[in-house]
Amino acid sequence: MPISSLFDVRKQLTFYGAYHSNPTNVNIHIICVPLLLWSFQVLSSTLPVPDFFPAVAHKFNDYLLFDFNVAAVHAAIYLAYYFVLDPVAAFLYTPQMIVSLLTAISFSKKADNITIAALLHAVSWIAQFVGHGFAEKRAPALLDNLIGAVVLAPFFVHLEVLFMLGYRPELHKQLTNDVGKELARIRKIEGDKKRAKAL
């Protein structure tokens, strides 16, 4: 995939949508992707930070804690990328990312944080694989595009919800058409491969 297409929201959403067109699978992702992100933030909050990281921390309350750590840098990079793709959608997503980050950092201070976060992370991945295998009947996107599957998934799930609420209907219509064409192209390739094997 060309580098320029990484910053083209329509191309990225078309790719993602081709792997997430089944409503059951989409709903599984709407639930599991935020859980994956949060559990990753918990786990990465426990990683040691380089010496050059500034010691910045602030406790808002018992459930919201900021600490300048790996999870915070990760969240900032993700948000910066999302703002390049779609500034308005990224702005609307920012509060969700902040709450996810602050609660994850707070939870990372608990004694059983790693066990719970790792279990939640594993269950969320399994649920998504089940969604792809039984509902979508296709391998997940990470096998073809790791960036699209991991980096962009939280933002795309957010956009799925926004589209349901009427966000950018023209883009949604274009994407629906693009995804339909991409699915037809993929199915033709898969059909050709099956026929070639049968010969």
**CA nearest neighbour of 113 among 39, 10, 173, 53:** 39
Q: How confident is the model at residue 157 (pLDDT cuts 50, 70, 90)?
A: very high
Instruction: Mention every residue, 6+ apart, whose C-beta is less than 8 A from residue 1.
Output: 15, 145
The whole-angstrom separation of Cα 7 and Cα 20 is 20
By residue range, what is the domain housing residue 115? 3-198
Q: Tell me what pLDDT residue 49 has.
A: 86
Structural contact between residues 127 and 25, judged by C-beta atoms closer than 8 angstroms = no
Mean local confidence (pLDDT), 53-64: 93
For residue range 110-138, what is the model confidence (pLDDT) as tens digits? 999 999 999 999 999 999 999 999 998 87
Strand extents, DSSP E, 3-81: 57-59, 65-67
Q: How many domains does the chain have?
A: 1
Residue 1 has pLDDT above 60, yes or no: no
The percentage of the chain sitting over the pLDDT mark of 70, rounded to a whole number, equals 95
SS3 content of the chain, % helix, strand, coil (to 5): 75, 5, 20
Q: How confident is the model at residue 139 (pLDDT cuts 50, 70, 90)?
A: confident
Which of 17-21, 54-58, 171-175 is least confident? Answer: 17-21
Q: Tell me what pLDDT residue 110 has.
A: 95
Average pLDDT value for the chain: 91
For residue range 95-104, what is the model confidence (pLDDT) as tens digits? 999 999 999 9
Q: Tell me what pLDDT residue 165 has.
A: 96
State the helix-helix crossing angle for 153-164 and 70-85, rounded to 10 degrees. Answer: 50
Mean local confidence (pLDDT), 57-78: 96
pTM summary value: 0.89
